[in-house]
């Protein structure tokens, strides 16, 4: 048998061109596996990457119109519709009742193929057009160039809509009615495809999907996104079995509820999707999505789902960012923290700023230090505990210290006072209506007595001891042993600004401006005077000198700046 087959093949190859033509006519092509597209039924098609899938169909003799709907999934595809019409009538021997032999009839017969429609993208698209001659076969070609994907195709014959797909309104957009800190309210134009007839529940409904990534063009892409998210969660669960809280936070990125959706994962993932009561809303076209995270961007999609036909259409989605979490009116003041507070004389800010301080240790004592940075600014400081006011006083340009004791926590309220005797709020430049205040609270200071201030913060220089390269300074100290640091900076001779901002900390000044630091203590306050000789200066130059009283607790005390010019000739 095998030998006779080989002899016949050899005779066909060497018998000449005429025999080859008889075996394989020029209009004969290798046929692909024939897949027929049925009418009024959703046909799922798997598209391998880079391969073209073909679906064939013919129309009834009385059909004058046709429509073909193709619904891609998560990636863009290319699809086209072509028609091949026979010039001559098919031979009578053709078995018209057998659809398996019909493609061979069209390819063996004389005819021409015309491409009538082409589309590239990832949105649901429909071609509608007149029917060709009865002796025609239609070819639907589908191709995915990015990755393997799924596609659904639907054929409808005759005029009017098919009824299998829901219809979108003239305005197919999702609108945002309101945005809150943890909720967003959406609405959309109702679809004529959703209506209650004879009191029966419709088989079509609106379904809302919320996620953190992007909007989806169709329901299949949304399913694919959820499937990948579930797989990602399962991988994380396998890597770390103790990460249940992380997985729960990730699963909250998705929430919806659709019947018969994700059947393969229904038992394991149903409880992981949050039920907000605002998904698949039947005929309601208003939805409030709640339980969202503050200050987070979300994407919202609305689908019309046909549960009977298994079809759906998507509105044009929207996105919104929830509002930031409301900040507490009371700010926590940490131990030893230097807090810069900006106060305003504006009417909206006259109610004051509030801070909460909790001392460390069982003694429940602390020291509150305040210092305004503007010479004419005043602030009212009120300290209370458990609703009872402990102290209330005004703080001006002098550094103020308030002793805190006898309470586990202290509520500190700062209220800007309008400068001058007038009760009106200053107008004009907004910057002039604001001033800065430095504040620090420390529970390390445990003495009952308040820290001692110098009797004056003036710095004195001695003209007789002034030379071309040095000057001598003197200032008042205290009976407590404290550290004093001297700073200098050279300024132009014609400079009008010779003082240093009293709110500038020593740590914020350049290191080359510091001259030296010294300890000093004198038990007699009347004799608590210390001096310092500052050398290595340039002749005839103008210098600004600053002295800081550095303490273990509270803010450093800055003396008033002193401007001195060295001698030009010595």
Q: What are the backbone dihedrals phi and psi of residue 472, each rounded to the nearest 5 degrees, phi first?
A: -120, 130
pLDDT digit string (tens) for the chain, length 570 residues: 454 544 444 444 444 433 333 333 444 444 555 788 888 888 899 999 999 999 998 888 778 889 999 988 888 999 999 998 876 555 555 444 444 445 555 555 566 788 999 999 888 888 999 888 776 889 999 999 988 998 989 998 888 777 778 888 999 999 999 999 899 999 999 988 887 665 556 778 898 999 888 898 888 888 888 888 888 888 877 776 654 444 434 334 444 533 333 333 333 333 333 333 357 766 788 989 988 999 899 999 999 988 888 888 899 999 999 998 765 578 888 888 888 888 776 543 445 688 999 888 777 788 888 888 766 778 889 999 888 888 898 887 777 888 888 888 899 988 888 765 444 344 444 445 677 888 888 886 555 556 678 888 899 999 889 999 999 999 999 888 889 999 999 988 887 777 777 778 788 888 899 999 999 998 888 889 999 999 999 999 999 999 999 877 778 888 889 999 999 888
Q: Check if the beta carbon of residue 12 is closer than 8 Å to that of residue 23.
A: yes
| Beta-bridge mates of residue 114 | 83
What pLDDT was estimated at residue 104? Answer: 56
| Rounded (10°) CA dihedral 465, 470, 472, 478 | -170
CA distances from 239 to 243, 247, 253, 273 (A): 9, 12, 21, 22
Q: Check if the beta carbon of residue 477 is closer than 8 Å to that of residue 522.
A: yes
Q: What are the backbone dihedrals phi and psi of residue 458, each rounded to the nearest 5 degrees, phi first?
A: -80, 145
Report how far residue 433's alpha carbon sits from residue 426's, in angstroms, rounded to the nearest whole number: 6
Which of 2.40.50.460, 3.10.20.600, 2.60.40.10, 2.40.128.20 is the CATH number of 174-321? 2.60.40.10
Q: Check if the beta carbon of residue 534 is closer than 8 Å to that of residue 473.
A: yes
- pTM above the 0.75 mark? no
Report how far residue 55's alpha carbon sits from residue 43's, in angstroms, rounded to the nearest whole number: 10
Report how far residue 453's alpha carbon sits from residue 527's, in angstroms, rounded to the nearest whole number: 14
Report how far residue 102's alpha carbon sits from residue 34's, in angstroms, rounded to the nearest whole number: 10
Report how far residue 224's alpha carbon sits from residue 128's, in angstroms, rounded to the nearest whole number: 29
How is domain 459-565 classified at the CATH fold level? Immunoglobulin-like (2.60.40)
Can 174-321 and 330-419+429-442 be said to share one CATH topology? no
Q: Check if the beta carbon of residue 484 is closer than 8 Å to that of residue 477.
A: yes
- Name, in order, each residue with C-beta under 8 angstroms of 450's C-beta and a sequence gap of 6 or more: 401, 403
Q: What are the backbone dihedrals phi and psi of residue 338, each rounded to the nearest 5 degrees, phi first?
A: -85, 110
Q: Tell me 34's DSSP state.
A: P
How is domain 43-157 classified at the CATH fold level? Jelly Rolls (2.60.120)
Measure the CA angle with vertex 266, ends 265 and 268; round to 5°. 70
CA distances from 333 to 341, 363, 411 (A): 11, 18, 10
CATH code for the domain defined by 330-419+429-442: 2.60.120.380
The full set of domain ranges for the chain reads 43-157, 174-321, 330-419+429-442, 459-565
């Amino acid at each position: 048998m095998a030998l006779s087959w080989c002899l016949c093949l050899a005779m066909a190859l060497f018998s000449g061109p005429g025999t080859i033509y008889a075996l394989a006519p020029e209009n004969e092509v290798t046929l692909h596996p024939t897949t027929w597209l049925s009418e009024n039924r959703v046909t799922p098609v798997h598209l391998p990457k880079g391969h073209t899938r073909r679906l064939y169909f013919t129309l009834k003799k009385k059909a004058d119109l046709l429509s073909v709907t193709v619904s891609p999934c998560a990636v863009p595809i290319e699809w086209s519709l072509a028609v091949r019409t026979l010039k001559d009538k098919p031979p009578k021997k053709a078995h018209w009742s057998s659809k398996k032999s019909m493609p061979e009839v069209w390819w063996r017969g004389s005819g021409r193929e015309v491409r009538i429609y082409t589309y590239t993208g990832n949105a649901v698209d429909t071609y509608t057009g007149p029917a060709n001659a009865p002796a025609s076969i239609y070819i639907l070609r589908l191709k995915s160039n990015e990755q393997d994907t799924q596609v659904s195709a639907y054929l409808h014959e005759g005029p009017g809509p098919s009824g299998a797909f829901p219809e979108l309104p003239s305005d197919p957009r999702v609108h945002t009615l309101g945005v809150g800190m943890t909720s967003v309210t959406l609405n959309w134009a109702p679809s004529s495809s959703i209506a209650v007839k004879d009191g029966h529940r419709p088989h079509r409904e609106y379904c809302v999907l919320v996620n953190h990534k992007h909007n989806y063009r169709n329901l299949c892409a949304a399913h694919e996104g959820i499937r990948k998210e579930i797989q990602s969660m399962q991988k994380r669960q396998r890597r770390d079995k103790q990460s249940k809280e992380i997985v729960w936070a990730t699963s909250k990125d998705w929430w919806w509820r659709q019947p018969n959706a994700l059947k393969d994962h229904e038992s394991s993932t149903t409880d992981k999707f949050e039920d907000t009561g605002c998904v698949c809303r039947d005929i309601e076209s208003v939805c409030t999505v709640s339980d969202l995270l503050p200050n987070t961007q979300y994407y919202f999609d609305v689908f019309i789902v046909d549960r009977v036909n298994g079809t759906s259409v998507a509105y044009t989605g929207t996105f919104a960012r929830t509002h930031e979490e409301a900040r507490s009116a009371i700010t926590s003041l940490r131990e030893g923290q230097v807090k810069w507070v900006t106060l305003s004389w504006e009417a909206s800010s006259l109610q004051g700023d509030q801070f909460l301080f909790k001392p460390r240790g069982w003694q429940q004592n602390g020291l509150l230090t305040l210092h305004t940075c503007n010479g004419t600014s005043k602030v009212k400081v009120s300290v209370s505990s458990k609703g009872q006011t402990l102290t209330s006083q005004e703080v001006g340009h002098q550094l103020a210290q308030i002793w805190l004791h006898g309470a586990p926590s202290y509520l500190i309220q700062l209220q800007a006072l309008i400068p001058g005797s007038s009760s009106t709020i200053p107008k004009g430049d907004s910057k002039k209506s604001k001033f800065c205040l430095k504040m620090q609270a420390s529970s390390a200071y445990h003495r009952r007595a308040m820290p001692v201030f110098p009797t004056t913060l003036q710095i004195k220089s001695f003209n007789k001891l002034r030379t071309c390269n040095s000057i001598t300074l003197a200032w008042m100290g205290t009976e407590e042993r404290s550290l004093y640091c001297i700073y200098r900076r050279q300024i132009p001779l014609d400079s009008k600004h010779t003082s240093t901002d009293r709110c500038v900390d020593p740590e914020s000044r350049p290191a080359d401006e510091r001259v030296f630091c010294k300890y000093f203590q004198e038990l007699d306050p009347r004799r608590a005077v210390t001096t310092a000789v500052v050398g290595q200066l340039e002749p005839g130059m103008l210098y600004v000198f600053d002295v800081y009283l550095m303490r273990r607790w509270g803010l450093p005390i800055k003396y008033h700046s002193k401007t001195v010019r060295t001698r030009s000739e010595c």
